[in-house]
Amino acid sequence: MLGNFSYCNPTKLYFGKDALNGLKEELPKYGKNVLLVYGGGSIKNNGIYDKVMAVLSECGKTVYEDAGVMPNPTVDKLKEGVQRARDCNADFILAVGGGSVCDYSKAVSISVNCKEDPWEKYYIRFEDVDPDCKIIPVGCVLTMVGTGSEMNGGSVITNHKQKLKIGHVFGENVFPKFSILNPEFTYTLPKYQMVAGFYDIMSHILEQYFSGEDDNTSDYLSEGLLRSLIHSSEIAVKNPTDYEARSNIMWTATWALNTLIAKGKTTDWEVHMLGQAVGAVTDATHGMTLAAVSMAYYKFIMPYGLKKFVRYAVNVWGVNPVGKTDETVAEEGLAAMEAWMRRIGLVMNLTDLGVNEGNFEDVVKATLVMEGGYKVLTQDDIRAILKASL
Amino acid sequence: MLGNFSYCNPTKLYFGKDALNGLKEELPKYGKNVLLVYGGGSIKNNGIYDKVMAVLSECGKTVYEDAGVMPNPTVDKLKEGVQRARDCNADFILAVGGGSVCDYSKAVSISVNCKEDPWEKYYIRFEDVDPDCKIIPVGCVLTMVGTGSEMNGGSVITNHKQKLKIGHVFGENVFPKFSILNPEFTYTLPKYQMVAGFYDIMSHILEQYFSGEDDNTSDYLSEGLLRSLIHSSEIAVKNPTDYEARSNIMWTATWALNTLIAKGKTTDWEVHMLGQAVGAVTDATHGMTLAAVSMAYYKFIMPYGLKKFVRYAVNVWGVNPVGKTDETVAEEGLAAMEAWMRRIGLVMNLTDLGVNEGNFEDVVKATLVMEGGYKVLTQDDIRAILKASL
């Protein structure tokens, strides 16, 4: 735990089959006008919309709706949402959905009273929320697991015109005030989305794990989360309504990206930069973009962080190191990871996600370079990794 | 993650060599009169007192002192502290010390405006703080690692007349508002106290781990914390000023008992009941009382929770299970644990802590029985475990 840091996570979580009862406890703390944000309308088919509306009505709220948030929420949609929040004089934003709906809701919450263009200010110039800018409080009812957006200040927005998908991690004042985590609310999600979410969790942990040479408690916590995720994902793929597996995964997802396992250490995030570039160009599902580039990336950087890849192989994948070279142990770890990825049904190449000769260079160009991993990538490195992922 | 639960931890942590800077950020949020609580005065010898006083002065606070908090803070001392807090009209309590000083400060904070006898109300009748009882906010500068008191609502008070040492875990409103965690502030602690603290951490994790048959992410997190603790404790015992080891242990201690790893599962706490009975009768160091009873306790309950003991042996102690019976694997795990305990210098029997024929039955009588472990102990079980610990 080298370096100085502070830790504070103000989000209150309500977890379990009765988690929606938490909404009744929380809503009275906020004003009358609630902007209900959701996506394509699946919550109307699976009954979650009605359940949430019943609580809102019981709490005497006036509800305004902002529906149609897309999987990779766009800057155009953000503009629309800001206008809607202003028009209804929203006191509170209730996000009902997955990470995209949460991310978008946070973006709206900090943009309603922002005096500048929020895309330029928050995502291009990476600036913080001005101290005098009133943030509309956000609460979250989670229906898809993966992004961790329910307990952090992250918000990713896509600009198709500029072919950019950019995430900004904001401070505690932007975190959801509360999140409702009912594993049963994730049951009806299509399998493709479910396993994409599983890999998003995996990638969040690995981005924080594969960085630094120091001995750190955070890495031990990461290994625990990884083992729990690997174990439960295999069960959930076979039986998506296994409550124990789905609930473990939901809890793991939250702790994979709520700042804890990054404390006291450096982090990487290059897989997310590669994946987000793919997403910006193809609009493919986020978790699948990460899966499609991961094996090529990790094989590429393995020699630069060999010691950590050996530890990963032994502690996470149970590789027996006796009598083997470090390279062999590390390779066996990555092979075990790849086999697991194929077993749970992830997309393993970029061709399947729509990357081709025509847009390949756009992806290369859209890839931002991070500096916390075991190797700072050059443009040629990026091109080589993406080529190996086709 | 079975069952419904909520999670919220409002304590802000400042961690690292410069953590005391956090005190400057936090103090201005509270009133002028600060009650500075500390123990036997070691903070005057190691310079921490002067550093803290400089910040208090810089922040323009009027400081009143409540010194002499003993290792197992008593109900008589609590009475004294309450009077002192009332006399100085304390707006804020700053605890500078280890778990005892933190626990005591929390007890004072909820007793100043309590209309009844706090010992009777909070510790004997296990009641919560009344909603109309104003709690004096507490902040903490930690100088000894182990209890986790810096980020939870726990408070243990001892009544020598009644031969009782009772802990009550209060809600979020009793948690410290902030805690300052500088690993270097723990360097001057005598080795006996240091390793006692290490075992307190170990025991906190095991009390939450050895309970329940369900598959739970919390148990994976516990395994991560255990491995980190075991690894770093061996380094710290050899070199107490190894910053990385001491900082990992400090962070592990906080997360071992801040509610996280108990979420979604049942817990045991019988080792603490046995240890606290020993403490009530002998006034021995808390962590050592836990160490002295642990091996006998775990050997006794092992057959009732065999599956978990096998998991513990393999995942925490690296026991190779191939070709062995479950019993053998579990026993090898406990043997590895015992060897580690001896290696780091823990007290392994009650005789060394002052338990003898004359007071043995007092300890038996003072031991409370918990119901979350793998076996609910009878009086005969307790007697047998304590006898095996002599």
Residue A39 pLDDT more than 90?
yes
Q: Which residues of A touch B251 (CB under 8 A)?
A: 1, 217, 263-264
Tell me the pLDDT tens digit for each residue of B19-66.
Answer: 999 999 999 999 999 999 999 989 999 999 999 999 999 999 999 999
pLDDT above 70: percentage of residues in chain A: 100
Q: How confident is the model at residue A1 (pLDDT cuts 50, 70, 90)?
A: confident
Looking at chain A, which residue has its C-alpha nearest residue B251? Answer: A217
Ordered by where they begin, the domains of chain B are: 12-186 (3.40.50.1970), 191-388 (1.20.1090.10)
Tell me the pLDDT tens digit for each residue of A316-365: 999 999 999 999 999 999 999 999 999 999 999 999 999 999 999 999 99
Q: Tell me which residue in A7, A9, A251 faces B217 most closely, judged by beta carbons.
A: A251
Kindly report the nearest CA distance between residue A314 and chain B, in angstroms: 11
- Chain B residue with minimum CA distance to A250: B1
pLDDT category of residue A47 using cuts at 50, 70 and 90: very high
Q: Which of B13, B215, B247 sits opposite A8 (nearest CB)?
A: B13
| Residue matched to tokens 């190996």 | A388
pLDDT at B294: 98
Among candidates A3, A217, A225 on the partner chain, residue whose Cβ is nearest the Cβ of B16: A3
| pLDDT given for residue B303 in this prediction | 98
B-interface mutation test, from A5, A6, A314, most B Cβ less than 10 A away? A6
- The alpha-carbon gap from A183 to the nearest alpha carbon of chain B, in Å, equals 10
Which residue from B minimizes the CA distance to A3? B16
SS3 annotation, chain B: CCCCEEEEEEEEEEECCCCCHHHHHHHHHCCCEEEEECCCCHHHHCCHHHHHHHHHHHCCCEEEEECCCCCCCEHHHHHHHHHHHHHCCCCEEEEEECHHHHHHHHHHHHHCCCCCCHHHHHHHCCCCCCCCCCCCCEEEEECCCCCCHHHCCEEEEEECCCCEEEEEECCHHHCCCEEEECHHHHCCCCHHHHHHHHHHHHHHHHHHHCCCCCCCHHHHHHHHHHHHHHHHHHHHHHCCCCHHHHHHHHHHHHHHCCCHHHCCCCCCCHHHHHHHHHHHHHCCCHHHHHHHHHHHHHHHHHHHHHHHHHHHHHHCCCCCCCCCCHHHHHHHHHHHHHHHHHHHCCCCCCHHHCCCCCCHHHHHHHCCCCCCCCCCCCHHHHHHHHHHCC
Q: Which residues of chain B lie closer than 8 angstroms to A221, CB-CB?
A: 221, 224-225, 228, 255
- Taking CB atoms and an 8 Å limit, are A248 and B217 in contact across chains? yes
Token code pair at residue B60: 């323009």
Q: By CB neighbour count within 10 A (0-12 exposed, 13-18 middle, 19+ buried), where does B345 fall?
A: middle
3-state secondary structure of A175: coil
**pLDDT of A285-320, one tens digit each?**
999 999 999 999 999 999 999 999 999 999 999 999
Q: Do B12 and A8 touch (CB under 8 A)?
A: yes
Nearest CA-CA distance, residue A154 and chain B, Å: 19
8 Å CB contact of B217 and A223? no
pLDDT beneath 70, residues of chain B: none
Closest CA in chain B for residue A17: B4
Q: Predicted confidence band at A80 (pLDDT cuts at 50, 70, 90)?
A: very high
A164-202 confidence digits (pLDDT tens): 889 999 999 999 999 999 999 999 999 999 999 999 999
Reported as a single tens digit per residue, the pLDDT across B188-197 is: 999 999 999 9
Residue A329 CA from chain centroid, whole number: 30
Neighboring chain A residues of B216 at a CB cutoff of 8 Å: 244, 248
For A34, counting Cβ atoms within 10 Å of its Cβ (0-12 exposed, 13-18 middle, 19+ buried), the class is buried
Interacting residues of A378 by C-beta distance below 8 A, sequence separation 6+: none
Calculate how close chain A gets to B83, using CA atoms only, in Å.
Answer: 33
d(CA A371, CA A387): 21
* pLDDT > 90? residue A3: no
Euclidean distance between CA atoms A35 and A38, whole angstroms:
10
B252 to chain A, closest Cα gap in Å? 7
Can you state the angle between helices A191-209 and A243-256, rounded to 10 degrees?
A: 40
From A219's Cα to the closest Cα of chain B, the distance in A is 8
Nearest Cβ partner for A16 among B4, B18, B232: B4
List, for residues A234-264, the tens digit of each pLDDT value.
Answer: 999 999 999 999 999 999 999 999 999 999 9
Contacts of B22 in chain A (CB under 8 A): 6
Which residues in chain A are closer than 8 Å to B3, comparing Cβ atoms? 16
Assess whether pLDDT exceeds 90 at residue A214: no
Q: Residue A131 in contact with residue A153, Cβ under 8 Å?
A: no
Q: Distance of CA A315 to CAs A221, A301, B354, Å?
A: 11, 19, 42
pLDDT at A41 over 90: no
Q: With CB atoms and an 8 Å threshold, state whether B244 touches A9.
A: no
Give me the pLDDT at residue B56, please.
98
Cβ-defined contact of B248 to A215 (cutoff 8 Å): yes
Closest approach of B283 to chain A, Cα-based (Å): 32
Residues in A touching B19 (Cβ below 8 Å): 4
The interface pTM score, or ipTM, of the predicted complex is 0.95
What chain A residue is nearest to B17 in terms of C-alpha separation?
A4
Q: What's the token pair of residue A102?
A: 């949460």
Inter-chain residue contact A2 with B244, CB threshold 8 Å: yes
Rounded to a whole number of angstroms, the distance between the first and last alpha carbons of chain B is 38
- CB atoms B221 and A222 under 8 Å: no
